[in-house]
Amino acid sequence: MYAVEVERLTKIYGHGETAVTAIADASLQVKPGELVAILGPSGSGKTTLLTSIGLINEPTRGRVILDGTTIADDGWRKGLDLKRVRREKIGFIFQAHNLIPFLTALENVMVALEINGMARREARARATELLEALNLGHRLETYPAFLSGGEAQRVAIARALANRPKVILADEPTAALDTENGKNVMALLKKLAVEHRSAILVVTHDHRMVEGFDRIFDVRDGRIMGER
């Protein structure tokens, strides 16, 4: 079974003369444990593809199946609790600075767990464990403003992993980092995909960052041009 299946996905923004087709007829499949890159220039539709998979952006046409559950079939499936699917099946990683500023590193991870119904003690233990595994044991009580870019991004990764999602979606996770830190983050994602058996989709426009990925999809003008 695939973790992510996308069939002939099309996303059109707006109507009539101002309509923009951001994604046209895109299809792809990702297995659990795979690390996949979506590579393309600015404006090519990478973010649109990712957010359509991540239940943030309603697809105009086509089908999206996550972990065996059909979530979109020419629009959202009726009666679907989008937030619940997001909570339980998807972890998000964005560009830096998407941590909640008034929560410490530990609390930023805990909040994802508590939102999903985990008791505080348990959440604390799991968050601590995750952060320690990502070499952040010494930063548990630090607020995001006092974390380095690489540290902040690792906290965000820990948060994305917290609920053991089947799918992790990362939009330009290295954009705010220098090359070395960026490479470290990508290597970490590679390791986590294997360890956690999650499908990880990473959007980037930086081809230097995609070493070691299982597969790379090239996107151009809203179309998946090929796979490497």
Partner 1 sequence: MNLAVRDIRYHRGRFILTSVGLGLLLGVVMSMGGIYRGLFADALSISHATRADLWVVQQETSGPFAAISRIPEDIRYRIAAVPGVAEASPLSFQTVQIERRGKPFRFFLVGYDLNGFGGPPTIIAGRGIRQKHYEMVVAQGMKMGLGEKIRLGLHDYTVVGITGKMVSSSGDPAAYVGLADAQEIQFKSNNDAIRNQRERIAARLAGLPTLSPPQTKLLRQNITALTESTHTVNTVVARLAPGANLQEVQERIGRWNHFRAISDGEQTEILTKGMIEKARMQLGLFRIILLVISAVIISLIIYTSTIDKIRTIATLKLIGARNRVIVGLILQQSLLMGVIAYAIGYGVISLTYDRFPRRVELVASDLQSLFVIVIGICTVSSFVGIRKALKVEPAEALGG
Ligand X SMILES: Nc1ncnc2c1ncn2[C@@H]1O[C@H](COP(=O)(O)OP(=O)(O)OP(=O)(O)O)[C@@H](O)[C@H]1O
Residue with token string 């044991």: 137
Is beta strand 4-13 parallel, antiparallel or unpaired with respect to 167-171?
unpaired
Residue 205, contacted partner among ligand X, partner 1, Mg ion, none, CB below 5-8 A by kind? ligand X
> Which ranges of 116-163 would DSSP assign to H, the alpha helix?
120-133, 149-161
Query: Of 125, 3, 136, which Cα lies nearest the Cα of 69?
Result: 3
Residue 36 phi/psi, 5-degree rounding, is -125, 140
SS3 86: helix
Q: Please tell me whether residue 47 binds partner 1 under the rule CB under 8 A.
A: yes
Q: CA-to-CA distance for 220 and 70, rounded, in angstroms?
A: 26
> Choosing among Mg ion, partner 1, ligand X, none, which partner's interface includes residue 101 (Cβ < 5 to 8 Å by kind)?
partner 1
Which does residue 14 touch among Mg ion, partner 1, ligand X, none (CB within 5 to 8 A, set by kind)?
ligand X
> Per-residue x/- marks for partner 1, 95-134, CB under 8 A?
x--xxxxxx---x--xxx-xxx---x--------------
Q: How far apart are CA 57 and CA 13, in angstroms?
A: 10
The helix/strand/coil state of 141 is coil
Tell me which of 2, 32, 56, 142 binds partner 1, using CB under 8 A: 56
Residue 12 touching partner 1 (CB under 8 A): no
Q: Does 194 bind partner 1 (CB under 8 A)?
A: no
Part in contact with partner 1 (CB under 8 A); list of ranges 2-10, 63-71, 170-178, 204-212? 170-178
Residues lying near partner 1 in the complex (CB under 8 A) are found at: 47, 51, 56-57, 83-88, 90, 92, 94-95, 98-103, 107, 110-112, 114-116, 120, 143, 159, 171, 175-176
